[in-house]
């Protein structure tokens, strides 16, 4: 395939270009589904292995820690091989990770589960580094935030479906003799799906977007002048940290006697409403950002998330429950908006910038671990004070980014 420019992609009416965005959108669904299954794994493995909240959060630490380790090498890999080959490699590595859930369950080994999660997340990281910037350049730069928000809506579709399937196949077996073995069937299905999709992507004829040439030496120093990129990276750290921390303790929080008192398998169904709100919010947000400043809309959503979490901390019963679920709508546009605003104007350095942003996803490893420690020490409700501070920064970034075209 010959490399084509962004302008050629925008003006092309060929079937090659028309397949690009739909196939990438399907990837967003897959990794949303896989990532959200962690929210079901945490209460399940916490009970199976009798873990504290801090120990259970090692699931997110290993999963999102992979972003920190793999993101920059992933950017270099994609710069060398291209977006499409990077996607195929990412899918194959993710499939190997899900395959390892089967022996981890058979040997009843929590460390093996954590290692499998790290490998799985390494593949997902490569997908993120490849697919997110690919979406931003497949069209008019002025609508990049809207386009990425739309594809992220399908990511939310995956996160909406995952808790329902996870509750039926995993948490429903919590009191049975299966224990850790309950994860084998869903992750075996995921393994087959990932390898099949990798095969499909290896045969698709997708456009090759011009990137930094292999001869150029791209380093962190190259990205230093892009201040908005670094501020956006911190925004990604804060957002992913808050989102993952909230989702990680949601099942346990909803199951508390003072909230609903439901069994964890039943409480997991509310997680689907949380992610469903994010999905609807992304579809609506994609339309709003056609007419409204992306940075301002981001700040409004962050402020709403702060107010809702105050109600979660101070309230009980239905008030705290629905305030927590509505945070999903507030979260809806944050990741794609921060991501696209941070990448604006990077040109041929886009894949390296995306690598830096995905590096910042390590917030999903560190913030939940800190919230787990707060939950063990002060209780689940008060632990939500940590995500509030994350949203304060996101609000600042949104207000500061109002002049950035996105």
Give tens-digit pLDDT for 124-180.
Answer: 989 887 877 777 666 666 666 667 767 777 877 888 888 888 888 787 665 554 567
CATH number at residue 311: 1.20.1250.20
In a domain, 364, yes or no: yes
In a domain, 232, yes or no: yes
With residues binned 3-state (H G I as helix, E B as strand, rest as coil), the percentages for the chain, rounded to 5, are: 80, 0, 15
Taking residue 230's Cβ as centre, other Cβ atoms within 10 Å add up to 18
Q: Percentage of residues in the chain with pLDDT exceeding 90?
A: 41
In a domain, 4, yes or no: no
What DSSP string describes 50-106? T--HHHHTHHHHHHHHHHHHHHHHHHHHHHHH-HHHHHHHHHHHHHHHHHTHHHHHH
Mean per-residue pLDDT for 240-267? 92
In a domain, 6, yes or no: no
In a domain, 114, yes or no: yes
CA angle at 60 for the pair 394 and 93, rounded to the nearest 5°: 110
In a domain, 141, yes or no: yes
Residue 211 has pLDDT above 70, yes or no: no
Mean per-residue pLDDT for 226-232? 90
Residue 5: its pLDDT value, please? 42
Residue 104 has pLDDT above 80, yes or no: yes
Residue 173: its pLDDT value, please? 65
**137: number of CA atoms within 13 Å, CB side?**
26
The structural domain count of the chain equals: 1
pLDDT digits (tens, 9 = 90+) for 31-43: 888 988 888 889 8
Residue 6: its pLDDT value, please? 44
Residue predicted with more confidence, 320 or 293: 320
Residue 193 has pLDDT above 60, yes or no: yes
Residue predicted with more confidence, 147 or 390: 390
Residue 16 has pLDDT above 50, yes or no: no
- The residue segments making up the domain with residue 255 are 12-209+218-403
Residue predicted with more confidence, 154 or 338: 338
In a domain, 92, yes or no: yes
Residue predicted with more confidence, 358 or 55: 55
Mean per-residue pLDDT for 204-231? 67
pLDDT digits (tens, 9 = 90+) for 298-332: 999 999 999 999 999 999 999 999 999 999 999 98
Residue 3 has pLDDT above 60, yes or no: no
Asked if 324 and 253 count as a contact pair (C-beta separation under 8 A), the reply is: yes
Whole-angstrom Cα distance, residue 24 to residue 150? 11
Report which of 18, 184, 29, 21 is spatially closest to residue 102, judged by C-alpha positions: 184
In a domain, 3, yes or no: no
Using 50, 70 and 90 to split pLDDT, how confident is the model at 15? very low
Whole-angstrom Cα distance, residue 235 to residue 151? 20
Report which of 137, 151, 130 is spatially closest to residue 28, judged by C-alpha positions: 151
């Amino acid at each position: 395939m010959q490399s084509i420019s962004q302008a050629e992609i925008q003006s092309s009416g060929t079937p090659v270009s028309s397949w690009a965005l739909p196939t990438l959108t399907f990837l967003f669904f897959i990794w949303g589904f896989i990532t959200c299954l962690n929210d079901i794994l945490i209460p399940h493995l916490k009970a199976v292995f009798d873990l504290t909240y801090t120990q259970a959060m090692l699931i997110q630490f290993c999963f999102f820690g992979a972003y920190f380790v793999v993101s920059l090498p992933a950017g270099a890999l994609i710069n060398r091989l291209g977006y499409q080959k990077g996607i195929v490699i990412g899918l194959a590595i993710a499939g190997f990770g899900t395959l390892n859930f089967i022996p981890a369950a058979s040997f009843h080994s929590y460390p093996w589960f954590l290692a499998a999660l790290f490998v799985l997340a390494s593949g997902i990281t490569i997908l993120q580094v490849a697919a997110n910037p690919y979406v931003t350049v497949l069209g008019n730069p002025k609508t990049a935030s809207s386009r990425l928000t739309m594809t992220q809506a399908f990511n939310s579709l995956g996160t909406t479906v995952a808790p329902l399937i996870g509750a039926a196949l995993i948490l429903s077996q919590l009191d049975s003799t299966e224990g850790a073995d309950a994860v084998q069937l869903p992750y075996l299905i995921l393994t087959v799906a990932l390898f099949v999709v990798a095969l499909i992507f290896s045969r698709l004829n997708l456009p090759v977007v011009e990137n930094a040439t292999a001869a150029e030496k791209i380093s962190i120093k190259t990205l230093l002048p892009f201040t908005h990129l670094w501020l956006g990276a911190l925004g990604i750290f804060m957002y992913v940290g808050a989102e993952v921390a909230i989702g990680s303790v949601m099942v346990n929080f909803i199951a508390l006697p003072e909230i609903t008192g439901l069994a964890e398998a039943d409480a997991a169904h509310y997680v689907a409403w949380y992610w469903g709100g994010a999905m609807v919010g992304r579809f609506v947000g994609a339309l709003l950002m056609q007419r409204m400043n992306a940075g301002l809309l981001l700040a409004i959503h962050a402020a709403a998330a702060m107010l809702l979490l105050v109600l979660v901390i101070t309230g009980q019963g239905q008030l705290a429950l629905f305030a927590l679920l509505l945070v999903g709508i507030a979260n809806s546009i944050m990741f794609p908006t921060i991501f696209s605003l941070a990448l604006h104007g990077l040109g041929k350095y886009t894949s390296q910038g995306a690598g830096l942003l995905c590096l910042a996803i390590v917030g999903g490893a560190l913030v939940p671990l800190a919230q787990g420690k707060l939950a063990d020490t002060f209780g689940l409700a008060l632990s939500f004070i940590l995500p509030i501070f994350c949203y304060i920064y996101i609000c600042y970034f949104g207000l500061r980014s109002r002049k950035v075209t996105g």
